[in-house]
Chain A
Amino acid sequence: MNAITTAVPAADDHTGVNGTALAVLIILFAAVTLMGFYASRWRRPTSMESLDEWGLGGRSFGTWITWFLLGGDLYTAYTFVAVPAAMFSAGAVSGFFAVPYTIVLYPIIFVFMGRLWSVSHRHGYVTTADYVRGRFDSRTLSLAVAVTGFIATMPYIALQLVGIQAVLEVAGLGGGNNWLAKDAPLFIAFALLAAYTYSSGLRAPAVIAFVKDTLIYLVIIVAIIYLPHKVGGWEHIFGAAEHKMATPNPIDGKPTGAFVPPASQHWAYATLGLGSALALFMYPHSITASLSADDRNTVRRNASILPAYSFVLGLLALLGWVAIAAGTKPIGLDGKPNAQLVIPQLFEDSFPSWFTGVAFAAIAIGALVPAAIMSIAAANTFTRNIYKEWLKPHATVAEEAKVSKLASLVVKAFALVFVLTLDKQNAINFQLLGGIWILQTFPAIVFSLYTKWFHRWALLAGWAVGMVYGTVAAYNVANPRGGIHHFGGSLAQMPVIGELGYIAMTAFVINVLVAVVITVILNAAKVSNGSDETIKGDYFAVAGDPRVKPLPEPLSESTPSP
């Protein structure tokens, strides 16, 4: 970040501000900001001063809004920057796994999300930690789930900023040597995001998601039709990719990456896909978007139409290889190569500048939707499961909403400070750890939707062991090519199997084994498993059943302040 000396020689090539592109980017961004503020009036809530309204959009989103919201939420700006970047620099195993990941994701959520929706709506749960609290009567296990979700989400928000930064950097902004010129654009973008999230809650990202997805689809379809033709056809693209991946890396002499995963990396490819898929819907922001659906079946119907995004993600991944054929040189404003810039750079090199602006806007706006939902979800978790549970048990509904709004500001401010003061690599490291950590909450949340067999202390012990194992294993991964000694990647050798595998998956298996063994012991010793406030029928309730309603809080009829 401070390599001023190296920045000088490269300055001529890369600090040129792309005026037209920047103008288009700013206009689209401004339009979206206005929509964000207007969103509080959309679908007319009587009051925003309850967490149900602010944090779950009144739990009233139908199939299509849910589709846009979930799609806008899960396929983040960072995904759009990082997946093609991984394809570009490391090949199919670390890049294209995103496709099987986002395919197997949907059968998995189809299976459990209906139950989670039903039980949450019968008992007014807003977060997974709420559910765990009610299901196991355990504040400790609930706190473990809440803290894991909260901590795993923070770096994810920071990475959305990294996505915006990549666009701004290629557009020529943020290159100045003084702090203000360098960071002001990012600062303004996030201040606007914070302001309309504060006033409109979950409605803001739901409205903006329409724009985001339309722009993303437009840009990717144009890119995937126009660019291959421009760089010499798919034959040439795959040829160039195969050649680059087979070329030995100068540092370790091994091939640069995989064009098609070799036998030694099949486990890695499979576990990355499955582990990521199991983890994604444990994140608070995925749960928030799912619970805001208006009915149990809205979520399940969505599982069959959401793969449309997976298709687009696959095309986008291939753009990383298009960039290889196009000879894209992703070089940051500091003059160093930075693979994360490959997609914005490819767009700037190949498109007319007005369309480059549209493409940049798509990525930047793509960062806003998930960042807004993540901060709302993290704030919900903090308010309900930490503030209300541990700090102020008698908080009123209006107080809850107020704390939640403030917490969402704090979370975003933290993400901004994180990205501005620390090296980007830290955000990526923590995101990697976040993925490993969040998967460790899976047994407590999902297994318990089906069976009462697991013991709460056994689940807690499994979670703890999984967290420690995953953290240590990730710490020990070195990446000599990047000159990184710790947190160098998400793959490590799996015990017993002996092949490379996704650390989160290994930790998950260990977690489950521990939970099973200790459950057997505790059940044999007849240790109390707490009182379960849910009944079996709760897991099958639909909209219209008793108590399955947005909480009818009799609040004053006030319009939310903009």
Chain B
Amino acid sequence: MSAERQSGAGVDHDTIPPANTTLLIVAGVLLALPIVALMWVASYSRVDPKLGAFPFFIWYQFVWVFLCSGLTYTAYRLVLKARPHRPMTDETTEGGRR
């Protein structure tokens, strides 16, 4: 992944900047996990096992608040790594590249 380190000169900007597809897929899976887990209501719509007085249904979803936050942050780091920014050059207006 060294090509996009170069400055934006001579790049066709009507293309998607190159990315590490594997990392993007991993990030996508991390983001999909909370959605799949919470849409699968049958997996948690029950009272036991309780955590203290809290029914499983309640505390399990609270746990997902933290898991989702962690997974989203991990996905964020991965996505930044997977697709390094390709600086843009302006082909239509006054400026050249910076």
Task: For chain B, residues 15 to 42, give those with C-beta under 8 angstroms from any C-beta of chain A.
Answer: 15-17, 31-32, 34-35, 38-42
Q: Is B72 a contact partner of A238 (Cβ separation < 8 A)?
A: no
Bound CA span A110–B78, Å: 13
Q: Is A99 a contact partner of B86 (Cβ separation < 8 A)?
A: no
Cβ distance B62 to chain A, nearest Cβ, rounded Å? 6
Cβ contacts under 8 Å, A274 to chain B: 35, 39
Q: Is B69 a contact partner of A540 (Cβ separation < 8 A)?
A: no
- Asked if A111 CB lies within 8 Å of chain B CBs, one says yes
| Minimum CB distance partner of B30 in chain A | A107
Q: Is A106 a contact partner of B62 (Cβ separation < 8 A)?
A: no
Cβ contacts under 8 Å, A538 to chain B: 13
Bound CA span A537–B4, Å: 13
Cβ contacts under 8 Å, B17 to chain A: 537, 540
Known: A110-B72, A318-B58. A546 touches B39 (CB 8 A): no
Q: B interface vs A, CB < 8 Å? A: 13-17, 31-32, 34-35, 38-42, 45-47, 52-55, 57-58, 61-62, 64-66, 68-73, 75-76, 79-80, 83, 85-90, 93, 95, 97-98
Cβ contacts under 8 Å, A235 to chain B: 53
Selected from B13, B58, B72, B79, the residue in CB contact (under 8 A) with A96 is B58
Known: A266-B42, A536-B15, A537-B86. A311 touches B65 (CB 8 A): yes
Q: Is B35 a contact partner of A107 (Cβ separation < 8 A)?
A: yes
| Minimum CB distance partner of B53 in chain A | A234
Q: Is B14 a contact partner of A537 (Cβ separation < 8 A)?
A: yes
Cβ contacts under 8 Å, B68 to chain A: 103-104, 106-107, 307
| Minimum CB distance partner of A239 in chain B | B53
Bound CA span A308–B69, Å: 8
Cβ contacts under 8 Å, B40 to chain A: 270
Cβ contacts under 8 Å, B71 to chain A: 107
| Minimum CB distance partner of A274 in chain B | B39
Cβ distance A249 to chain B, nearest Cβ, rounded Å? 21
Known: A274-B39, A547-B90. A107 touches B62 (CB 8 A): no
A238, A303, A318, A537: residue with the most chain B Cβ atoms closer than 10 Å? A537
Q: Is A237 a contact partner of B80 (Cβ separation < 8 A)?
A: no
Cβ distance A331 to chain B, nearest Cβ, rounded Å? 28
Bound CA span A107–B73, Å: 10
- Asked if A100 CB lies within 8 Å of chain B CBs, one says yes
Q: Is B52 a contact partner of A234 (Cβ separation < 8 A)?
A: yes
For the complex with contacts A266-B41, A540-B85, A546-B93, 9 further pairs of A-B residues with Cβ separation under 8 Å are: A103-B38, A103-B68, A104-B34, A107-B34, A234-B52, A303-B72, A307-B65, A308-B69, A546-B88
Closest 10 CB pairs of A and B: A546-B90, A537-B13, A234-B53, A304-B73, A266-B41, A107-B31, A535-B14, A545-B88, A100-B38, A304-B72
Cβ contacts under 8 Å, B46 to chain A: 260
Q: Is A547 a contact partner of B80 (Cβ separation < 8 A)?
A: no
- Asked if A480 CB lies within 8 Å of chain B CBs, one says no
Selected from A304, A314, A545, the residue in CB contact (under 8 A) with B69 is A304
| Minimum CB distance partner of A539 in chain B | B16
Bound CA span A304–B30, Å: 12
Selected from A260, A266, A308, the residue in CB contact (under 8 A) with B47 is A260
Bound CA span A356–B83, Å: 51
Known: A104-B34, A314-B65. A300 touches B39 (CB 8 A): no
Q: Is A537 a contact partner of B15 (Cβ separation < 8 A)?
A: yes
Cβ contacts under 8 Å, A540 to chain B: 16-17, 83, 85-86
Cβ distance B53 to chain A, nearest Cβ, rounded Å? 4
| Minimum CB distance partner of B28 in chain A | A111
| Minimum CB distance partner of A260 in chain B | B57
Cβ contacts under 8 Å, B38 to chain A: 100, 103-104, 270, 273
| Minimum CB distance partner of B72 in chain A | A304
Known: A269-B41, A304-B72. A96 touches B55 (CB 8 A): no
Cβ contacts under 8 Å, B79 to chain A: 300
Cβ contacts under 8 Å, A545 to chain B: 87-88
Q: Is A270 a contact partner of B39 (Cβ separation < 8 A)?
A: yes
Known: A238-B55, A261-B45, A311-B65. A546 touches B97 (CB 8 A): yes
Q: Is B41 a contact partner of A261 (Cβ separation < 8 A)?
A: yes
Cβ contacts under 8 Å, A23 to chain B: none
Cβ distance B77 to chain A, nearest Cβ, rounded Å? 10
Cβ contacts under 8 Å, B86 to chain A: 537, 540
> What 0/1 readout, one digit per residue, does chain A (85-105) give for beta carbons within 8 Å of chain B?
000000010001001100110
Q: Is B42 a contact partner of A303 (Cβ separation < 8 A)?
A: no
Bound CA span A303–B85, Å: 20
A92, A267, A305, A546: residue with the most chain B Cβ atoms closer than 10 Å? A546
Selected from A92, A110, A310, A544, the residue in CB contact (under 8 A) with B75 is A110
| Minimum CB distance partner of A534 in chain B | B14
Bound CA span A238–B14, Å: 57
Bound CA span A217–B54, Å: 21
Cβ contacts under 8 Å, B85 to chain A: 540, 542
Q: Is B69 a contact partner of A111 (Cβ separation < 8 A)?
A: no
Cβ distance A236 to chain B, nearest Cβ, rounded Å? 8
Cβ distance A496 to chain B, nearest Cβ, rounded Å? 17
Selected from B32, B41, B61, B76, the residue in CB contact (under 8 A) with A304 is B76
Bound CA span A86–B84, Å: 46
